[in-house]
Chain A
Amino acid sequence: MNLKMPDLSTTGSPIKVVRWLVEVGDFVERGQAIVEVETDKATMELEALGPGTLLQQLVPVGSEASAGDVLAVIDETQAGSTVIGNSHTANEVSYHRDFLLNLYERMLLIRQFEDRVKALFLEGSMPGTIHQCQGQEATAVGVCAALRPDDFITSTFRGHGHALAKGLTVQEMLDELFGGVTGCCKGKGGSMHIGNIGKGMIPGIAIVAGGIPVATGMALAFRMRKTQEIVACFFGDGAVAEGAFHEALNMAALWNLPVLFVCENNLYGASTRIDQVMKNTKVSDRAASYGFRGETVDGNDVLAVYEAASQAAQECRSGRGPVLLELETYRRSGHSRRDPCHYQPKEERAFWSANDPIIRFAQALLVDGNADLDDLDRIQKRVDDEIESAVEKAKTTPKPGIEDLLTDVYAS
């Protein structure tokens, strides 16, 4: 991935590199400032488009560059495997501390977002219905961390976590949930259809399994254009019983398409437990019947998800896809807004509470010395502040006018 000089100058005059903020060999996060530049109008910082390791600084301090010039080379394949820090996880792979804390922050952001949205519903200020993902944060974050910024995802009616993991902002999502014209879908999609194609996420496909053929078709487009992107297709265990699942997986296999099928197996399709609707409850077994690789992974271990998804993504990218990942996880909320979730047995809930992905990961960070309590508090505060400030703005976001109702139906 190259960091290019954007078109910053209104006059077309060259832009000066003032100062490098990151050294060669350093790990950078998505959105981290890398270099300070000066135009004829202002001084500003340029940010990394994705996580990785800075390999080269191509323009020395004091030199000038034009729009489109490559300033730096960042190797995103080393997002999680560079041995720079001294952190170690149970499986002996080394990760940079910043990468780990970023995973933690993303998961916490999703949890806090969902809890805040639930509170907004309870207080009666948020319209519609809602399908939440508390307890499933590691699946979204682990998979999306393994993707490149230009890869795509498809999601479902339970898409808030996927959207935040893919880089949609809290603000554009809350604005959408409040039905505002500043929302990521201009208030025309809502909770179940959250997405932003500019960030690699099509609107949530809210009919069970409906997104699986669509994702497969996106992969067909990559194949036809001989590009390197892949698509990660999220769906739940309930989708496995739909015909669209079978049809799409069969064709993806037939043509070795670069699609990563991600089944978040949370044991329940709405209120019905998985063993009431399928004889073989190991979803990853399905892959073999289509002729490709399937794997079941602890979906509440964000690093296990990240590693499995990284490997699967690499296979897809090199023409050895598709891959079916079954991520075992648990939904701590009801299926939808009005579901009190009484069908989940107490012991089962207790087991999965003890297995909560965020608590588990926080403990690992503390035990491994990658974070102390102050670090976690600081992250918590940052997340809370971001959400609270977005909630305040979202509550007053302007609503679409009646004239907006009839637009965007057709392109022409």
Chain B
Amino acid sequence: MALITYREALRTALDEEILRDENVVVIGEEVAQYNGAYKVTEGLWAAHGDTRLVDTPISEAGFVGMGIGAAMLGLRPVIELMFWSFAYVAFDQIVNNAGCVRYMSGGLLNVPIVIRGPANGGTNVGATHSHTPENLLANMPGLKVVAPATAYDAKGLLKTSIRDNDPVMFMENTLLYGEKWDVPDTEYLIPLGQADIKRAGSDVSLIAHGRAVITCLKAAELLVAEHDIDAEVVDLRSIRPLDEETVLNSVRKTHRAVVVEEGKPFCGIGAQMASMIQEKAFDDLDAPIGRVASLDAPAIYSPPLEKRQLPDPQRVIEKVLRLS
């Protein structure tokens, strides 16, 4: 085991996969010579050279589309978006080409691409740079959506995503890049579509992905200390494919569920979870399903308010306490 940052975990995953498979190529703005806007790719260009790390112009539609074309012919491009917020100028490529081409070809053509980068608010950069599009993308059949909460998950999921034959939208978080977790020294993979119980508990299921998992873990500690409520924290890890069974098993055990996300509430991931749980485990519920999400407005700039716009442990606790 080694204590490494989320950022280092991603870098190690890229490094190992570049070495393992000659088809892996990292493409994006300043990913090579500048070592990446958030230094995720630091040192990789020096180690692997121009053919494996490709600096691009500021042309998201262009280089995302190129990654898709290269993937159709069997390369495994990993496209770095400086922010997932910039994906919107490449939306046609992601939705129509990455998402639909396999289906439209009658299954003859795969698009094994990973598009990765940070998708989070909370850094006081305002509305256009704080988007969390996992719900938008998970709405597109053909795309997979992954959002790791820890360094361990980031590494194992990124390696699996690169080897996956479908387009994987990989959502990171700048607020997690510098956080450290224990990660095994030996190689491991985490399958897509496998949720993880980050904390076992018996009274309520807190269901989350990405940094909201960390928020839930903090809330769980306070809930047990201050209210004697033993919360189970279910980390979805991948939103599509979705591990319904782990979520349902948790709810069947605790009989209460709160879905927590940093995205906006309207048509959010929480809505999907609530629908799925009530459809498949209605009789196991002792209370209505609760939701905690970002407050429903574009991301505000003002620092003290942005903190309140995103879910925090206190809001999670309040929601749990209000479940009858």
Q: Which residues of A contact B (CB under 8 A)?
A: 152, 154, 183-189, 193, 195-198, 202-203, 205-207, 210, 212-222, 224, 243-244, 246-248, 250-251, 254, 407-412
Contacts and interface: CB of A to CB of B under 8 A. Distances in A.
Given A214-B65, A251-B62, A410-B166, A197 B108 contact: yes
B104 interface: yes
24 contacts: A152-B73, A185-B108, A186-B107, A202-B101, A203-B109, A205-B96, A207-B92, A210-B92, A210-B93, A213-B66, A213-B69, A214-B69, A217-B68, A217-B77, A218-B70, A221-B74, A222-B73, A224-B51, A247-B61, A250-B59, A251-B66, A408-B107, A409-B102, A412-B166
Nearest to B52: A224
Given A221-B74, A244-B65, A410 B109 contact: no
Nearest to A250: B57
B93 A213 contact: yes
Interface residues of B, number: 43
B62 A248 contact: yes
Nearest to A242: B61
Contacts of B243: none
B110 A411 contact: yes
A188 B73 contact: no
B285 interface: no
Contacts of A214: 65-66, 68-69, 72, 93, 97
A409 B109 CA distance: 11
B166 A210 contact: no
B73 to A, nearest CB: 4
B67 interface: yes
A251 B57 CA distance: 7
Nearest to B106: A186
A216 B62 contact: yes
A221 to B, nearest CB: 4
Nearest to A255: B54
B146 to A, nearest CB: 14
Given A207-B92, A210-B96, A251-B62, A221 B69 contact: yes
B56 A244 contact: no
B106 A189 contact: yes
A198 B108 contact: yes
B42 to A, nearest CB: 23
A218 B106 contact: no
B190 interface: no
A254 B27 CA distance: 14
B75 interface: yes
Contacts of A184: 106
A221 B166 CA distance: 18
Nearest to A251: B62
B102 A408 contact: yes
A93 B242 CA distance: 62
B66 A216 contact: yes
B75 A221 contact: yes
Interface in B136-155: 141-142, 144
Interface of B: 25, 51, 56-57, 59, 61-75, 77, 89, 92-93, 96-97, 101-110, 112, 141-142, 144, 164-166
Nearest to A206: B96
Given A214-B72, A220-B69, A188 B103 contact: yes
Nearest to A223: B51
A408 B73 CA distance: 18
Nearest to B111: A411
Nearest to A409: B141
A248 B66 contact: yes
Among B59, B74, B89, B144, find the residue whose CB has the most chain A CB atoms closer than 10 A: B59
A410 B75 CA distance: 17
A412 B164 contact: yes
Given A203-B109, A224-B51, A412 B69 contact: no
Nearest to B77: A217
B59 A247 contact: yes
A244 B61 contact: yes
A246 B102 CA distance: 26
Among B89, B96, B108, find the residue whose CB has the most chain A CB atoms closer than 10 A: B108
A410 B72 contact: no
B9 to A, nearest CB: 24
Contacts of B142: 409-410
B10 to A, nearest CB: 22
B143 to A, nearest CB: 9
A186 B106 CA distance: 5
A210 B97 contact: yes
A407 to B, nearest CB: 7
Given A247-B57, A409-B142, A411-B166, A217 B109 contact: no
Contacts of B74: 221
A196 B108 contact: yes
Nearest to B112: A411
Contacts of A193: 104-105
B140 to A, nearest CB: 10
Given A193-B105, A210-B97, A250-B59, 18 more contacts: A185-B105, A185-B106, A189-B104, A202-B72, A214-B65, A214-B97, A220-B69, A220-B70, A246-B62, A247-B57, A250-B57, A407-B107, A408-B107, A410-B102, A411-B110, A411-B164, A412-B164, A412-B166
B166 A213 contact: no
Nearest to A226: B51
B69 A217 contact: yes
Contacts of A409: 102-103, 141-142
A216 B106 CA distance: 23
Contacts of A188: 103-106
B101 A203 contact: yes
B104 A248 contact: no
A189 B104 CA distance: 4
Contacts of B93: 210, 213-214, 244
The 7 A-B residue pairs with the shortest CB-CB distance in the complex, in nearest-first order = A213-B65, A217-B69, A247-B62, A217-B66, A186-B106, A408-B107, A411-B165
B65 A224 contact: no
B96 A216 contact: no
